[in-house]
Structure 1
Amino acid sequence: MCFLRGGGMSGWAANAGECHGWARRFPVGQAPFGTLDSFSPNRHYEQDLGVFLPCSDGKKAADERRSNPIQNAYGGKYGRMASPVKAGDTMCIRWPAKNHATESKVLDVFINMPSIPNQPDPKSQADLMKMTIAKLPYDNCTHIKDDTDLTPCGGCFEIPKDRAPGDYLIQWRWLLDNDIDEWYTSCWDVTVTAPEGTGPVPSGAVPVKLLGTSTSFFAQLAED
């Protein structure tokens, strides 16, 4: 997952913005966009709604659970944590079509985010599904001729204006097949900062300039 500034304004291609962060333990630079369904270890995975933890399928290879401290999931061999944002900022995320965006009946992407900062991940995926802040059309894509696998798609959402300063989980989640409850998911952390002059920056903040309402990110998710 790569967070970019300017994503969505001129399409969802990799050159549409500047990267400002990645998902938890994302192997940045090790796999091209859209190939994480075949990359070893596989980073994106099928989940059942009520059984699995929100950010894991219970296997080491697909573990996006929260670190303690959260910064341990970023840097070094992993991508950096997303730049801090303020409540009300807009963020954007991209994903590869993986041959599904052209289907006649494609379902929406769910963006889930708890309402209280600095908390462990919810105990179950069912709990987190009660915390949806946005739904995005999965088939919002930048057309690439003769390519429906790695075609970049994406969408934007707003950080709710009522979010207090602190560190939050945000989850991307998509239902491929309603008949067999086949979901795919990815998790990341973001720091919501206080308005200027109203208090200290929370513990998860990184020393970068705030992007304000232009904050966005692209996600290198892979569904198969």
Structure 2
Amino acid sequence: DGHRPRRAGVSSFGVSGTNAHVILEEAPVRPASHATADSPAPAVVPWVLAGGSAAALRAQAARLLGAVADLPPADVGFSLATTRTALDHRAVVVGASREALVEGLSAVAEGRSAAGVVEGVAGEPGRIAFVFPGQGSQWQGMALELLDSSPVFAARMAECGEALSAFTDWSLDDALHGRVDVERVDVIQPLLFAVMVSLAAVWEDWGIRPSAV
């Protein structure tokens, strides 16, 4: 482990004469996450559960009850949402504290209703429509966090900015950061258009395709 990436050459010789030669290089070091032990916990955490039947859903909730005693609620929520299969019988437990989440989880395990618990059975997906609001839905600072966190959103906003530049004497970046009066009709209409088009790009990147807009 020195001052340059480690590399290895690999040669694979097939009996049929098909040979492969590859140079492997270690991945670049990723910057450390901004999250630390001192980072504030989210105000509300969802725990998402799913099972192939109502009984399986209850059983999963019961098993989870015995495993979450010493785990950070946000970590449990992240793992449930990103590593579990979304089966048809579903429940979501929402809480602002470990106690509230455990109480909701107990309710799911016992088959009773409780505050912060929603249950349902997934049906066949229906048709999807993207509905965009008009003028009046804007607020100062809108879209800035998404602009920083979503490459897809940022790329589409850049495309919109380039397309609009021939018709405006201001930039989307200036409008979003409050350097232009967004209450001007000639500003807010193109700005909202760009934000909505970029939001649609994010949804489509997640696999959501509209039947109507």
TM over 0.5: no
> Which one has more relative contact order, counting CA pairs under 8 Å at least 6 apart?
1
TM-score, normalised with respect to structure 2 = 0.18
Higher helix share: 2
Higher strand share: 1
TM-score, normalised with respect to structure 1 = 0.18
Bigger Rg, structure 1 or 2: 2
